[in-house]
Chain A
Amino acid sequence: GQSLEQPSEVTAVEGAIVQINCTYQTSGFYGLSWYQQHDGGAPTFLSYNGLDGLEETGRFSSFLSRSDSYGYLLLQELQMKDSASYFCAVSNNQGGKLIFGQGTELSVKP
């Protein structure tokens, strides 16, 4: 089977750095993606790791360790607009199939 674990809630202040962890179990692992979803909005793609290491896209970075079945999303210089749910999602060798974690609700306080 497949399972993902991520914290249900994280709170941080504006300007801070926050890390959202994701551990997974899946057969035929292909890669780990991150999506952001604002309340009432559509999920939007943030980042993808297919290989070990860090991927940086502006204020957001994502990390993967395949040997530890672990990844994280790092958000820097937090802004109020970053308050949203963040989902990690794994893909395996069944093309096009994304399995989402339960989501982490990030609240950014002034």
Chain B
Amino acid sequence: DTEVTQTPKHLVMGMTNKKSLKCEQHMGHRAMYWYKQKAKKPPELMFVYSYEKLSINESVPSRFSPECPNSSLLNLHLHALQPEDSALYLCASSQDLISGSYEQYFGPGTRLTVT
């Protein structure tokens, strides 16, 4: 299984809602990532987890809260988002941080719209 899955595929939420994005991989990878991608722009790193511990937080606003409950799962909890947070949210994984420096496996993303 070389797949990273993400749910939901699409999400529309109001600015006062709380929602969560989920990501799962069964490749035995020990590093997992959240990226944000706007249309016609590159993926921007948000968070990196290594062995279920937060390794990098790219100064992301606290309305985004990541969680890594186990080595296969990565969540992104959303609260009080702004319309400018509307984007494609991509999850990725890699064997470890070293291999993540070149080869990451991306999921299909969750397309988020904040109204």
Mark A residues whose CB is within 8 Å of B: 30-31, 33, 41-45, 48, 50, 87, 91, 94-103
Question: Which 5 residue pairs across A and B have the least CB separation, nearest first?
Answer: A95-B97, A100-B42, A91-B101, A96-B100, A96-B97
For A90, the closest partner residue in chain B by CB is B101
B30 to chain A, nearest CB (A): 10
For the complex, count residues of B whose C-beta is within 8 A of A: 27
- The distance in angstroms between the C-alpha atoms of A109 and B94, with both chains bound, is 34
A48, B43: Cβ atoms closer than 8 Å: no
Which of B48-56, B63-71, B75-83 lies at the binding interface? B48-56
| B41: A residues at CB distance < 8 A | 102-103
| B98: A residues at CB distance < 8 A | 95-96
| A30: B residues at CB distance < 8 A | 101-102
How many A-B residue pairs have C-beta atoms within 8 angstroms? Tell me: 65
Contact of B104 among A98, A101, A102, A103 (CB under 8 A): A98
B103, A45: Cβ atoms closer than 8 Å: yes
For A49, the closest partner residue in chain B by CB is B102
Q: Contacts A96-B48, A96-B50, A98-B45; is A41 near B108 (CB within 8 Å)? A: yes
Confirm or deny: B21 has a beta carbon within 8 angstroms of a beta carbon on chain A: no
15 residue pairs of the A-B complex, CB under 8 angstroms, read A31-B102, A33-B102, A33-B103, A41-B108, A42-B108, A43-B43, A91-B101, A95-B50, A95-B55, A95-B100, A96-B98, A99-B45, A101-B42, A102-B41, A103-B40
